[in-house]
């Protein structure tokens, strides 16, 4: 097949590589000329994705994969087009921001030719594929969906850093606008993906048809919103347990010892492109989902709550040197999307602290570009907030932060033995 992939980011580029590695001719479209040039040189434009560099080095010189900024070069005559342009959420209104996907869809429509399958993989509010993308494609192309071309919604279900493994591990969900679209989508994804055996599933791993674009859209929102609500519940339990002298981790382990309980772990923040965002996409079409809204608000409040707890123990943070350990939103990943570092730093600064940030994955210049003053172990500190569960931080102790009076461990990622003799708060554990 001839396949076009629109938006060559941390999901789109590995998808394009996967399709090319499965034996198809793939051309990717991206507005970033530098990324396009890097890809066409057979190099990865961003670090951290397992096996991406070696696959690019093999596929690009072999002529199986190339990139362009020109839709006119990529779209006409494609058997399938896969779109993974981003959809954001307005931080104040919680309404979806479709500007990038709107632009990509209009550009695609201008060059769409008959016989093409169009698959949206970006997470969307329920109803978007049918009510927004179908009319936009028809208007821009002059073609009729279900007759001249077909549209399917098939959500990406992968984590950056392990995309190729996740593509094999999880069923590929599809929901099309017509029976013929369903058939075409199934054939397409069966031709570009390979699946691991999953004896834990009640049916074979592979392409699963959910019957409609709406069901497929909701499935992606539901599986991610579940995690945010679960973490919100864990944070609620953690706040209560800590105020009553209870170790919430022992409670959670006890609960999860039977098969009907799957409580997650509490934490200072829920970051990344997915979990903090998709519940708000869900709420945009189900505003009465109070449980979803409450969990999102509670999770967003955790940095402020923990910093306030530190203030109550130390009396005041004004004039103190505060260090936030970790800029990344999760351990081992160089990404700050919706990271808890931002609200944690804001909460500390609001109380008059002089704030520094440390992260083993970021250089001093990179931290400064994020608006932070870099910290180096061995420099004086009064209070430290462990925000990211980097493996390195398990080995950190008071000797690394001379003068530190309090550690606020927002991830339960520090070693208790190393902090004997120094005050230490662990989220969800008694003070």
Query: pLDDT per residue over 74-113, tens digit each?
Result: 999 999 999 999 999 998 899 999 999 999 999 999 999 9
Tokens at 223, concatenated: 């599986």
CATH number of 243-431: 3.40.50.720
Asked whether this chain's domains 2-212 and 243-431 adopt the same fold, the reply is yes
Output the pLDDT for position 313: 95
Query: pLDDT per residue over 52-73, tens digit each?
Result: 999 999 999 999 999 999 999 9
- For range 178-203, the mean pLDDT: 97
Query: pLDDT per residue over 361-401, tens digit each?
Result: 999 999 999 999 999 999 999 999 999 999 999 999 999 99
Name all contacts of 48-52 with Cβ < 8 Å and 24+ positions apart: 48/160, 48/161, 48/333, 48/334, 49/10, 49/13, 49/14, 49/160, 49/161, 49/163, 50/161, 50/162, 50/163, 50/164, 50/165, 51/164, 52/13, 52/14, 52/17, 52/163, 52/164
Handedness of CA 69, 71, 73, 77 (dihedral sign): positive
For the chain, which residues make up each domain, given as ranges? 2-212, 243-431
Output the pLDDT for position 8: 98
Catalytic residues: 220, 274
CATH number of 2-212: 3.40.50.720
pLDDT bucket at 430, cuts 50 / 70 / 90: low
Cβ-based neighbours of 294, under 8 Å, separated by 6 or more: 232
- For range 117-124, the mean pLDDT: 98
Query: pLDDT per residue over 273-329, tens digit each?
Result: 899 999 999 999 999 999 999 999 999 999 999 999 999 999 999 999 999 999 999
d(CA 8, CA 30) in angstroms, rounded, equals 6
Residue pointed to by tokens 């505060």: 322
Do the Cβ atoms of 299 and 283 come closer than 8 Å? no
Tokens at 286, concatenated: 């189900």
d(CA 150, CA 141) in angstroms, rounded, equals 13
- For range 325-342, the mean pLDDT: 95
Q: Residue 431 above 70 pLDDT?
A: no
d(CA 395, CA 342) in angstroms, rounded, equals 24
């Amino acid at each position: 097949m001839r396949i076009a992939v629109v938006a060559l980011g941390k999901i789109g580029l590995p998808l394009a590589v996967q399709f090319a590695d499965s034996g198809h001719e793939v051309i990717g479209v991206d507005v970033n000329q530098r990324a396009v040039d890097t890809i066409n040189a057979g190099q990865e434009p961003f670090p951290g994705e397992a096996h991406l560099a070696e696959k690019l080095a093999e596929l690009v010189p072999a002529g199986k994969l190339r990139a362009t900024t020109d839709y006119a070069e990529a779209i006409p005559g494609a058997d399938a087009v896969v779109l993974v342009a981003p959809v954001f959420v307005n931080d104040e209104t919680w309404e979806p921001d479709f500007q990038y996907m709107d632009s990509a869809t209009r550009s695609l429509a201008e060059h769409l030719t008959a016989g093409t399958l169009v698959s949206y993989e970006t997470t969307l509010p329920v109803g978007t594929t049918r009510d927004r993308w179908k009319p936009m494609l028809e208007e821009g192309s002059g073609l009729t969906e279900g007759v001249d071309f077909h549209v399917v919604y098939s959500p990406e279900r992968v984590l950056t850093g392990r995309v190729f493994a996740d593509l094999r591990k999880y069923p590929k969900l599809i929901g099309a606008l017509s029976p013929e679209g369903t058939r075409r989508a199934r054939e397409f994804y069966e031709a570009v993906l390979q699946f691991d055996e999953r004896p834990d599933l009640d049916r074979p791993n592979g392409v699963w048809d959910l019957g409609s674009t709406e069901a497929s859209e909701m499935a992606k929102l539901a599986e991610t919103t579940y995690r945010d609500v679960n973490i919100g519940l864990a944070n609620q339990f953690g706040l209560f347990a800590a105020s009553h002298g209870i170790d919430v981790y022992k409670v959670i382990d006890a609960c999860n010892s039977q098969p009907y309980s799957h409580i997650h772990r509490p934490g200072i923040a829920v970051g990344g492109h997915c979990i903090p965002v998709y519940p708000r996409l869900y709420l945009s079409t189900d505003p009465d989902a109070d449980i979803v809204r409450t969990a999102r608000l509670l999770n967003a409040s955790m940095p402020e709550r923990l910093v306030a707890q530190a203030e109550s123990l130390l009396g005041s943070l004004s004039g103190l040197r505060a260090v936030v350990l970790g800029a990344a939103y999760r351990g081992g990943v160089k990404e700050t999307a919706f990271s808890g570092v931002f609200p944690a730093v804001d909460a500390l600064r609001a109380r008059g602290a002089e704030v520094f940030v440390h992260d083993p994955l970021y250089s001093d210049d990179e931290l400064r570009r994020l608006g932070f003053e870099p910290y180096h172990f061995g420099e004086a500190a009064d209070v430290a907030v462990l925000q990211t569960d980097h493996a390195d931080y398990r080995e950190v102790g008071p000797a690394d932060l001379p003068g530190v009076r309090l550690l606020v461990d927002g991830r339960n990622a520090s070693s208790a033995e190393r902090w004997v003799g120094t005050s230490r708060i662990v989220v969800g554990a008694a003070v």
